[in-house]
Amino acid sequence: MQFQNTLAFAQQLDINDPLKQFRNQFIIPSEGGKEKTYFLGNSLGLQPKRTHEYIQRIMKDWATHGVESFFYAEEPWMDYHDKLTATLSTVVGCLPHEVSVMNNLSVNLHLMLVSFYRPQGKRYKILCEAKAFPSDQYMMETHVKHHNYNPADAIIEIKPRGGEHTIRNEDVLQLIVENKNELALVLLGGINYYSGQLFDMQTITQLAQQAGAKVGFDLAHAAGNVELQLHDWHVDFACWCSYKYLNSGPGAVAAVYIHERYHQDENINRFAGWWGYDKATRFKMDKGFKPIASAEGWQLGTPAMFMLASHRAALDVVNEAGWNNINQKRKLLTAYLWYVLDEVNRSQAAPIIEFITPRNENEHGCQVSMNMLQRGKEICNALMVDGFFVDWREPSVIRLAPVPLYNTFEEVWRFGDYLRSIL
């Protein structure tokens, strides 16, 4: 498409947008009756209007039936989890029984390392990206120490080359080859939270598994953002939260994917809880753990029904909009953002923005990270004061993410217009 940097052009894109009505299904932050521009879905997605109703249903069940709601509510709580997995499996590209909605992201990562980080002999190392999200760093560090290894030796960090902001795929592959006899696990963020770089998960998975390592991904910034095919890529496991692009609320329930080839493996290590026990005999309360033969076999305790309801409300919006439609708009909306920001850069005597997010469509999602070459914090503060929600990351990066379900092309244009005006 031949873009134009005009308000009329942006408004016409919105008129033609097949998903335009879905913005009305979200509560847009406002002040003085004026809607703000929310570009922080990469940190916390907006609240679907139906979330309140879905939670109220659980409240009503609780009031009416008490604990018997697990069996006698209009939508019995015992089977509520099943209402989430079909849409989630479409979003991450797997089979419904390969997904379990449970816990939070950090807890799930710990549980997955119990099962999939099994160091033996000289094969004990973990490959990850440098400056992974702190929880990931701490999680890997403590598991390595638990197995009596030194993190400085056991954790291999892949980082950008000098003068570059993102990690080259060939460098990841080269490190896998160089350490193929020592690697126990490759664990990367599907999308790096700082730069917005999307990794080539399929190629990385294939090479790492050929080397004898297990492969997992933290999809906090990828699930609900980009197209994934976890099952077909044969990824061993993945974890993600649901409060960013999946709009399920602050601290919302998380989820895991575990490839079906592990579901009936009696030798796999795991930490167990009663909610992961075989459903048919769970209430016999027998000794000896007998896991559900699916990803649900990794569940621990009784589910938090309010969180499941909030997650379901958000997933129902995704299902109604259509995952393919969401991805098509995401690509067009983000491409228009790049175009508008390029126009801003060209309007200056010298470029003021250095983009650290890769330009290639296959190497990013919604998020664009801008390294500000001048006045970065001042510009970020001015944007926030005037109603544009963006994110500051030290030392000089502004992150923003136009989310296809609720952001508009006009908002992108107005962002660029205002940015140019304050420069």
Burial class (CB in 10 A: 0-12, 13-18, 19+), 158: buried
The predicted-structure confidence for 38-83, as pLDDT tens digits, reads as follows: 999 999 999 999 999 999 999 999 999 999 999 999 999 999 999 9
**Which tokens is 163 given?**
């003068």
Separation CA 220–CA 37 (nearest Å): 23
Domains of the chain by range and CATH?
A: 7-47+323-422 (3.90.1150.10), 55-319 (3.40.640.10)
**Which residue type is seen at 30?**
S
pLDDT, residue 114, reads 98
pLDDT, residue 98, reads 98
pLDDT, residue 132, reads 86
pLDDT, residue 221, reads 97
Separation CA 24–CA 196 (nearest Å): 27
C-alpha 171: how far from its chain's center? 24
**Which residue type is seen at 71?**
F
pLDDT, residue 133, reads 87
Separation CA 348–CA 351 (nearest Å): 6
Separation CA 309–CA 305 (nearest Å): 6
* Residue 77 host element (H or E): none
Contacts 24+ apart (CB under 8 A), 13-18: 13/332, 13/336, 13/409, 14/408, 14/409, 14/410, 17/329, 17/408, 17/409, 18/325, 18/329
Bridge partners, 197 (sequence order): 364
Q: In what order do the strands lie in the sheet with 391-393?
A: 353-355, 368-372, 397-400, 391-393
pLDDT, residue 251, reads 95
pLDDT under 50: residue ranges of the chain: none
* Residue 107 host element (H or E): helix 105-116
| Packing angle, helices 169-178 and 201-210, rounded to 10 | 10
Asked whether 101 and 88 are in contact (CB, 8 A), the reply is: yes
**CA neighbor of 272 nearest in space, from 115, 146, 144:** 115
The predicted-structure confidence for 242-287, as pLDDT tens digits, reads as follows: 999 999 999 999 999 999 999 999 999 999 999 999 999 999 999 9
User: Under DSSP, is residue 404 helix (H, G, I), strand (E, B) or coil?
Assistant: coil
**Which residue type is seen at 179?**
N
What is the pTM for the complete model shown?
A: 0.96
Residue count (the chain): 423
| Packing angle, helices 376-385 and 409-422, rounded to 10 | 130
